[in-house]
Structure 1
Amino acid sequence: MPLVTDYDVVRVFCAPNGGYGNELGVVREGTVLPRPADRQALAAELGFSETVFVDDPERGVIDIYTPTLRLPFAGHPCVGTAWLLDVPELVTPAGVVGARQDGEFSWIEARAEWAPPRTLRRYASPAEVDDLPVPPKGEWIYAWAWEDEPAGRVRARAFPGRDDGIDEDEATGAAALLLTDRLGRALNITQGAGSQLLTAPQPHGWVELGGRVHLER
């Protein structure tokens, strides 16, 4: 596999103070690694929860990998890459993702059915979510509870259930899309150690997903 050292690292869904967020690797010149097997190997080597390969930066054509598999769509990779490339849309295997920048927030518009299956498990209080141990491998669990239901504020944690060393995902856009679609309302989600995700249902089955993005390197 060719040695690739040229990649950006951004943190997506950061807190208001710029902290937290989920790290994302972005290989801007994805065409230097055209073979899926090489991309998968690099994603495993880098070890981010997702790594994006940009195949056409002007059109926003991207390819997304976890350390162990290729994804047709994922939330935080799309939010982070749209911010980094500053494009009006991204082209993913799942479909075309709308994108926009609004002040401190980067937004995408996607469909909940593009998200991989997740078990959305509701708990009675944020404290119960905070106290959860990492569950056994196998099931992908998004644990959540209302912090303030009238205001749409949610506390959540995500457990991918994979054997790739990522026991808990700090900020998971795809799961936020699923939860928004199920509840049918805008949400302000605090996930993981302190990441913030914003969502809003749109007409015809679309959901907007937004957050702050910071360039690490």
Structure 2
Amino acid sequence: MPIDVTVLRVFTDPDGNHGNPLGVVDADSVDPADRQRVATELGYSETIFIDLPGTGANTAHARIFTPAVELPFAGHPTVGASWWLREQGTPVHTLQVPAGIVQVRYDDDLTSVSARAEWAPDFAIYDLASVADLLAADPADYPDGINHYLWTWTDKEQGQIRSRMFASDLGVPEDEATGAAAVRITDYLSRDLHIVQGKGSHIYTQWSAEGWVRVAGRVVDDGVKQVD
């Protein structure tokens, strides 16, 4: 039986442009042994499988897969899934993922999640001299086996940066918008940020000295597709 996949774009700009595609799947529709295959076939940087909350429940359980591996936590899937649950009429306060309990908040057109910095994978962080250097970077020049996060200030006083992320080891040559990397760079710089990543996706973060980072963004629904 075909599997319905809702396709979202997470971390769009204020006009609904750009954003990172995400596959959202009702976990009951896919055998756990088939989840990696489905994520690989879809080819999005992540696909999230959600156990829908019961009536009156304030939490949902979810598992996240790249085209190559399962992740204990990722930002754009948890933001996207939280937004999608509200659209289904089942907004949640928390998402349970393998890394831990993710706090969820809804503020007008922004959906946000709070995560521990240590939940995010390690990134090699490169502080580049200019936006021109950032845009000229070639993913092929960065070796496999590690995640590479490239960034530069566009307005340091206002906390605005431009970034790109390469993760070929996860089956993602370049990620358009990376919530986990946003958690890491926010913790690394120890300040709130407005991140423009990839071709123009927007991510907003809030830093906490207690080790939590809130990651927020806008989401657009691009409809449903089916996979076998």
TM value normalised by structure 2: 0.89
Structure 2 unaligned blocks of 5 or more: 87-91, 224-228
In structure 2, the residue corresponding to 1:7 is in which secondary structure?
strand
Partner of 2:28: 31
Does structure 1 residue 183 correspond to structure 2 residue 189?
Answer: yes
Q: CA deviation at 1:203?
A: 4.7
2:94 equivalent to 1:89? yes
CA distance in 1, matches of 2:218, 2:137: 26
Deviations 1:20-78 (A, max 9, x none): 000000002x123232x310011111111100111233431001001110111000000
203 and 52 in structure 1: CA distance in 2 versus 1, 3 angstrom threshold: same
Q: TM-score w.r.t. structure 1 length?
A: 0.93
SS where residue 205 of structure 2 aligns?
A: strand
Stretches of 4+ aligned residues off by more than 4 angstroms: none
- Alignment match, 2:163: 156
Aligned residues, how many? Answer: 212
Please say if residues 141 and 161 of structure 1, whose CA atoms lie closer than 8 Å, have aligned partners that are also in contact: no
- Relative to its length, the structure with more strand (as a share) is 2
Moved more, 133-142 or 84-93: 133-142
Secondary structure (helix, strand or coil) at the match of 2:84 reads helix
Taking only aligned residues, the RMSD between alpha carbons, in angstroms, comes to 1.3
Distance in 2, matches of 1:50 and 1:111, equals 19
Aligned counterpart, 1:112: 117
Report what 2:221 is aligned to: 215
Unaligned runs of 5+ in 1: none
Q: Percent identity?
A: 45
Alpha-carbon shift at residue 163 of structure 1 (Å): 6.8
Distance 1:38 1:160, change over 3 A: same
Residue 70 of structure 1: aligned partner: 70
- Determine if contact 1:148/1:154 at 8 Å carries over to the other structure: yes
